A and B are shown apart, each in its own frame.
Chain A
Amino acid sequence: MTTALNCEQVAKKITRALPGAVVAADKAAVVVTSKSLYQVAEFLKNTPAFDFDYLTNLTAVDYMDYFEVIYHLISLKHNHSLVLKTRCRDRDKPVVPSVVSLWRSADFQEREIYDLMGIAFEGHPNLKRLLLWEGFVGHPLRRDYL
């Protein structure tokens, strides 16, 4: 079975490599700043001890005060998993760096989040609506939609 890594220990290792990146860490997840998200993702993917080569899930939650983008990572080699989160406080123009260049499975998921939640992913090669049509007004999964 896939074992979940101890997120507090992972957070310490991330802080050692990238100081100031981690905002919070508990048993469930590591929360990093959206500015350093790409560097953290690159670190988690390329460090041999972690080797997170597979992004299983990428989703977003609207907490009214902020948006939270959640990355579920798995290493097929070590068979362990990690939940990575980042927060975005700008409600009018939320921007998070794209991780498509690291994991191709992020492509459609980022487009879906852009479509339904309105979070723009900087560096995405083809950021446009996925499920709804062009010209649709608003982002329906936001809490304040209608």
Chain B
Amino acid sequence: MEIERYPMIPSNEIDAAEGLRINSLMAASQYPIPDPDSWLDEELSRNVLITTVDYVLDWARSRSVFPLMFGLACCAFEMIGTAASRFDIARFGMDIFRWSPRQADLMIVAGTLTWKMAPAVKLVYEQMAEPKWVIAMGQCTISGGPFRESYSVVPGINRIIPVDVYVPGCPPRPEGLLHGISKIHEKIIKESIQKA
């Protein structure tokens, strides 16, 4: 009995293009993206004239951060647990997890990131509107975790996109994620429209 080629098979050109995209991203992201945080302590260098505008803007931004759900592995369940009624992420004005990057401000990357998934993460990050923040949740996202030496796992998501807050744990408790979110709020409050 001979089986013909299946009609629904995508052509090899699509596979080759995907492989090329992954390999070029892999070659381009061998080192972590620097994330300077020294500006967080520069309280006095702020311009006095726009301080009040900054205050109002940062107050509004920090209290309406809409998170983007990017659950990749088991850490996603802790993120879902954080959003549910027991820990109630809506207390921080993060009422709904958005599925569209265009409506989100904060990307919570939860779980092991593989090189095959990495172009999608980069694409979704680039589709988010400014200003945008990123939380790396869990050991695998931060550094690759136990799979750091693996052939298919990205050793740290900060090679693909810049990260604002790291939440360690395997997986972190919902309290840990809430602490990370409060750190994001602190960071937003210190930002100035001068820099943007």
- Chain A residues close to B by CB (< 8 Å): 100-102, 125-126, 128-129, 131-136, 138, 140, 145-146
Contact = CB atoms under 8 A, between A and B. Distances in A.
Classify chain B's interface size: 10 to 19
Which secondary structure dominates where chain A touches chain B? loop
19 contacts: A101-B1, A102-B1, A125-B3, A125-B5, A126-B6, A126-B9, A133-B15, A133-B22, A133-B115, A134-B12, A134-B15, A134-B16, A134-B18, A134-B19, A135-B19, A135-B20, A135-B23, A136-B19, A145-B151
B2 interface: yes
B4 interface: yes
A135 B16 CA distance: 7
Contacts of B116: 131-133
B152 interface: yes
Nearest to A136: B19
Nearest to A145: B151
Interface of B: 1-6, 9, 12, 15-16, 18-20, 22-23, 115-116, 151-152
Contacts, number: 44
A57 B87 CA distance: 42
Contact of A100 (B3, B15, B19, B20): B3
B19 A101 contact: no
A128 B12 contact: yes
Given A125-B5, A126-B9, A128-B12, A140 B151 contact: yes
A144 to B, nearest CB: 14
B4 to A, nearest CB: 7
Contacts of A132: 116, 152
Contacts of A101: 1-3
Given A101-B1, A133-B116, A140-B151, A125 B6 contact: yes
A118 to B, nearest CB: 14
In this complex, the member of A102, A128, A135, A140 whose beta carbon has the largest number of chain B beta carbons within 10 angstroms is A135
A105 to B, nearest CB: 13
B5 A133 contact: no
A134 B19 CA distance: 4
Contact of A135 (B1, B4, B5, B22): B22
A35 B14 CA distance: 34
Given A101-B1, A126-B6, 14 more contacts: A126-B5, A131-B152, A132-B152, A133-B15, A133-B19, A133-B22, A134-B15, A134-B16, A134-B19, A134-B20, A135-B22, A136-B23, A140-B152, A146-B151
